[in-house]
Amino acid sequence: MVNMKLRIAAWRLIWRFLVVILIIYVVALGFLSYFFLTIDQETNSIVFLPFGINQIIILVGMFVLGVIAFIPSLTSCYYVVEKKSFTMRRYWKIYEFSYANIEFIDIEESKRKKMVIFYASTCKTKYLLGDKKGILLETLIKKCPNTMSVEEFRRRHPEEKY
C-alpha cells in the first residue's frame, strides 16, 4: 500500500461541481440579464426578449466553459497514500497530512456520508470527499496511532462540533 493513488468518487465530485457551477451561472445570468430582459414601454413592466443569437451564444458559451472547467476536476483531484502520511491533490494545490498528527477520526459519520472526516492538530477539522471503495478511511483507521475516543476528543476540544 505504499504510494497508492486513490481517485475521489466521481458522483460526489459531480454533485459538488454542479452545485458550484449552478451558483456561478445564476450570478452570471443576473449580471447578464440585460441580454434576456427588457422594459415594455407601454406597461412599464419587465418582459423576456425573444431568443436571439446573443442569448444562444451566451448560454452555449457558459455551458462550454462549465464542461472545460469540469474536466480538470476529474483528472487532478486525488489522494496518494504513503507509508507515513497521505497527500491530497486538488487542482494545483497539494496538502499533506501525517498519520501521527491525526487525533480523531469520525468513523460513523464518515461511513454514513461516504466522506473522510478527521481532526488533526495542524489543520483542525477536515472534511474530504471519499474515494469509491473507502480505502482512504480504512487506511486512516489502521495507520493513525494517536487517535482518541469520542468522549476524550470532546473533552479536549470542546470548540469542535461533533
- 64-111 pLDDT, tens digit each: 888 887 787 777 888 888 888 888 888 888 989 888 888 888 888 888
Domain of residue 109 covers 83-156
Query: In Å, what is the CA distance from 64 to each residue of 46, 58, 83, 106, 140?
Result: 29, 10, 41, 39, 38
Contacts with 157 (C-beta within 8 Å, 6 or more apart), sequence order? 104, 119
In a domain, 162, yes or no: no
Residue type, 32: L
33 has a pLDDT exceeding 80 = no
Give Cβ neighbours of residue 133 (< 8 Å, ≥ 6 apart).
Answer: none
Top pLDDT among 118 and 150 is at: 118
Q: Identify whether residues 65 and 112 lie together within a single domain.
A: no
| Cα distance between residue 135 and residue 79, in whole Å | 10
What would the mean pLDDT of 25-31 be, rounded to a whole number?
Answer: 79
Is 67 in a helix, a strand, or coil?
helix
Longest dimension (CA), the chain: 75
Mean pLDDT for the stretch of residues 35-57: 74
**pLDDT surpasses 70 at 1:** no
Choose one of 75, 99, 121: the last residue of a domain.
75
- 18 and 64 both lie in a single domain: yes
User: Which of 101, 97, 80, 81 shows the shortest CA–CA distance to 147?
Assistant: 101
52 with 44: CB under 8 angstroms? Answer: no
Model pLDDT for residues 99-149, shown as the tens digit of each residue:
888 888 888 888 888 888 888 877 778 888 888 888 888 888 888 887 888
Query: 56, 75, 94: which is the final residue of a domain?
Result: 75
